[in-house]
Structure 1
Amino acid sequence: MISKHKICALLTIAMATWIIYLNWSNVLNVTFMEEKKMSLNQHTISNAVLSATQRSFDISSQINVTIDKLNALLTKKCDGISVDPSNFSVIISNNGSSLSFEEYKQWQAYDFIKRHANPGKKKPTPPKLRKYTDAERPNPKTLLKNRDEQINIEEIEKNVESERATRLKQGDDDILQIAEVQQEISNSFYKVPNLIHYVWFGCNRMRVDHYITILGALRYQNPRLILIHGDCAPSGEYWDRLMKQGGEKIRLIRRTPPEKIWGIPIKVIEHRADVARLQLMLEVGGIYLDTDSAILRNVDELRNYSMLLSESNYNSLANGIIFANRKAWFLRRWYHEYRYFKDAAWGHNSVIVPWALWRVFPDKIHVVKELICRPNWEELPYIYHDLYDWHNNYIMHLYSRFVKKMDGTEEHTVKELAILNTTYGQVARHILWGDEKPRDIKDWLVTCNQTQGLPEIKSTFS
């Protein structure tokens, strides 16, 4: 015999489940036909016209086309074809019943959401970050080769200038000759110039995650300039789109990857990027961001500190986000410690040394504990499978190199990001469309345009 209490509990669970289902169904405002729509491959199309930008397919009433063939037309890789849903009508017959093309799109959206919106089981409450304790932290003095506070500033400046002169002889751009850079450096209102820097070594296609993070900088920080330092320009549709949106705010700065630091050879490309970001910070200062670090709200209040980093673990400060005045003592001291650089010691000088310097000289830097680089690489499910409460974060490091490991794909499509029910999906929509709510994708599923659904391109940030 089931008690009244158990019956009430079961009813409550059933009601909650039904409400969750309705919330996601109402995103599309869709009503679906019964089982016949789950076996559409057995149906035929009696009349359809597919209009495209470069050519048209006329499927007349004398020809029967299966749903499989229709799907092949709608989802094939783009070769100049872009479906115009307003000129595409379909009637699918089955024993006297019919399915309009509008209903077909709704069914496709429903099926797409089922497959892509919820990649993992959600926790009943948002996950909480673990607090680090002093008991688990190492002795910072054992991590530094030089524990002195005093440094030879003149020697450091001479080294940075020598490296800069070498690059200029190789044909690199002189960032100090850019008028907007000069103006920002001389701006005395904030300690950190409103210049955002990215390092881009190698000739690579810009992925959607790169596009999202740089667009976030434009949308929420609106810097004086975004400076992309590298030896080869990004490529691809997302790069073309970004250049149109950013206009004159985005500048490509030719910069050769450094091959040595304090005379010590650098072979690992990631370590070359680590050194390059420190050197450009020492040249002009500003905000350095990794290409998978997304600004989620205005960060001007963080520019009041001459040096700011974020805690990423109990024994490391992230170098993927750096706020710095070019004359900051901490920045110079960090660079000084590269005298003892070892290419084989992965990450030591980039994240462990600044952590040790912070612990030894805590008054020389401002450290943000949880609102920039948490969740970290040990908390990836919080980003890719759960719904972490990110709304107080200034910045979030998305760790995009782990997308395949976490979600089974090298890169999410815009259509997937539009409905992805995870922290990553929410953050992407917050940047792409200005709010985190899921999008109605039914019209996007009948086009081969990979950026279908993104807001109209406007150079609103210039």
Structure 2
Amino acid sequence: MGWKTYSLFPFIIVIFMPSSLLMVFISMVQVNKNGGVIKPINAKIFQDPLADGDILFDGFDNYTGAPFPIIPNLVHFVLFGRNSLDFTTFLCMMAALKIQRPHRLFLHTDAENGTFTGHYWEQLLMTATKMVPINITGNKMYPPKVKLISRSRPTHVYGQRLSSVWHAADVARLDLLKKYGGMTLDGDALILRPFTPFRHFEMAIGWPENGYIGSQVIVAHPKARLLRLWLESYRVYRPRLWYYNAGQLPTQQILFHHPSLVHRVPVLFGVHNLAEQLYSSSKDVAEKSWWRKEGFYSIHLLSRHRNYLAHSNINSGALIDEQSVLKDNTYFGQMARWILYDIEPTLPLPSRDSNG
């Protein structure tokens, strides 16, 4: 990430002063991986809400990125048709709070009266409160770390009815990224390392070799060019195809022709199928920790598909919660314990009557 050896080109001006002192002025400009000079980068232009994305990122190199973060440190979750959190989504939100440490975590929802309730929601808010700086002087007000934003569930895209709540969430994510920028995560996308290095790019996305992009994790500047192109591609909407508009079409029709629109992350966003590694029991869980050794920044937990994707010794109908993961001898259980009980602020160990 950041500047590479080949991405700096020194331009030296030598000026001889009357005092016989030699002054050397060195200025640096960014060059792309092919050696072509790119226009100098000014931090302020990336904060202009009126900027045109095509102009702003003209000549921008998504291979090397900017020398400073240009994507806001905001995390977004989209949940439609519910007003409480299940354990998996709670775990993923806790990971986003405690590992990414965003300026704000936004929950975009159509919940009635714009409110969420339940044990896990209260635990999330309590954790977020512990992360806000203590106001000693009384002169500065700190905004809450977690904010709920009411928004209607999209029902149509370009005049075509959306076939499911999942497709509605796909469209909403692209729309809110155009408005705010930041990082969008599926309700079962688990952050394992801060996305800070990827905030230096126009847009970063998981894109496995010989595969489609993974929309479960998106890191994007609000003016990222692919956001507009991706939304416009919904003019050709296939309601019966689960992943056509969310992954197949933007990969085949846009990125195959213009791969430089994004910073490609083939493996470390974990958007490929890792269910077998996540949910298979092992006696060597503590020793191996493959997800740490591989350096994953995130992993898509595939929580709704674990029963048929993984050969687990655990009862497929068993309840998964903060108590069951204490004895869960899988890598998923290991991750959950680490996030909830090792990273500050930690949760208290659950009592037997805890429920979500």
Q: Is the 8 A contact 1:208 1:412 kept in 2?
A: yes
Partner of 2:178: 282
Q: Answer with 344-353 or 409-418: which moved more.
A: 409-418
Q: Answer with 401-410 or 194-203: which moved more.
A: 401-410
Q: Answer with 329-338 or 284-293: which moved more.
A: 329-338
| Offset of residue 313 of structure 1 | 6.9
Partner of 1:271: 167
Root-mean-square deviation over aligned CA pairs:
2.5
1: CA distance between counterparts of 2:188 and 2:126? 20
| Offset of residue 270 of structure 1 | 1.0
Structure-2 change in CA distance of 1:316 and 1:332 (3 Å)? same
Q: Does 1:365 align with 2:262?
A: yes
Q: Is the 8 A contact 1:202 1:231 kept in 2?
A: yes
Q: Does 1:201 align with 2:80?
A: yes
1: CA distance between counterparts of 2:237 and 2:85? 31
Q: Is the 8 A contact 1:403 1:411 kept in 2?
A: no
Partner of 2:278: 383
| Offset of residue 354 of structure 1 | 2.7
| Offset of residue 451 of structure 1 | 6.9
| Offset of residue 434 of structure 1 | 2.4
Q: Does 1:212 align with 2:91?
A: yes
Q: Which amino acid aligns with 1:394?
A: Y
C-alpha deviations, 1:110-162, integer Å up to 9, x for none?
xxxxxxxxxxxxxxxxxxxxxxxxxxxxxxxxxxxxxxxxxxx99x9xxxxxx
Partner of 2:156: 260
**SS at structure 2 position matched to 1:282:** helix
| Offset of residue 410 of structure 1 | 5.3
Structure-2 change in CA distance of 1:313 and 1:269 (3 Å)? farther
| Offset of residue 251 of structure 1 | 0.6
C-alpha deviations, 1:369-408, integer Å up to 9, x for none?
111125x33x411110055610111011111113455541
Q: Answer with 407-416 or 211-220: which moved more.
A: 407-416
| Offset of residue 352 of structure 1 | 0.9
Q: Is the 8 A contact 2:85 2:121 kept in 1?
A: yes
Q: Answer with 399-408 or 217-226: which moved more.
A: 399-408
1:241-390 pair list within 5 angstroms: 241-247=123-129, 248-311=144-207, 314-356=210-252, 357-374=254-271, 376-377=272-273, 379-385=274-280, 387=285, 389-390=290-291
Q: Does 1:225 align with 2:104?
A: yes
Number of equivalent positions: 257
C-alpha deviations, 1:156-192, integer Å up to 9, x for none?
9xxxxxxxxxxxxxxxxxxxxxxxxxxxxxxx95221
Structure-2 change in CA distance of 1:403 and 1:346 (3 Å)? closer
C-alpha deviations, 1:190-213, integer Å up to 9, x for none?
221111000010124312211111
Q: Is the 8 A contact 2:205 2:214 kept in 1?
A: yes
TM-score by length of 2: 0.67
Higher helix content, 1 or 2:
1
Q: Is the 8 A contact 1:403 1:409 kept in 2?
A: no
Q: Does 1:419 align with 2:327?
A: yes
- For structure 2, the residue ranges without an aligned partner over 5 or more in a row are 1-50, 55-66, 130-143, 344-348
- For structure 1, the residue ranges without an aligned partner over 5 or more in a row are 1-152, 157-187, 436-440, 453-462
C-alpha deviations, 1:395-449, integer Å up to 9, x for none?
11111113455541353132321132211011111211227xxxxx8xx6xx533
Q: Which amino acid aligns with 2:297?
A: Y
**Percent identity over the alignment?**
29
Q: Does 1:450 align with 2:354?
A: yes
**SS at structure 2 position matched to 1:399:** coil
| Offset of residue 341 of structure 1 | 1.3
2: CA distance between counterparts of 1:365 and 1:252? 29
**SS at structure 1 position matched to 2:207:** strand
Partner of 1:428: 336
TM-score by length of 1: 0.52
2: CA distance between counterparts of 1:275 and 1:413? 30
Partner of 1:457: none
Q: Which has the greater radius of gyration?
A: 1
**SS at structure 2 position matched to 1:390:** helix
1:401-412 pair list within 5 angstroms: 401-405=304-308, 406=310, 407=314, 408-409=316-317, 411-412=319-320
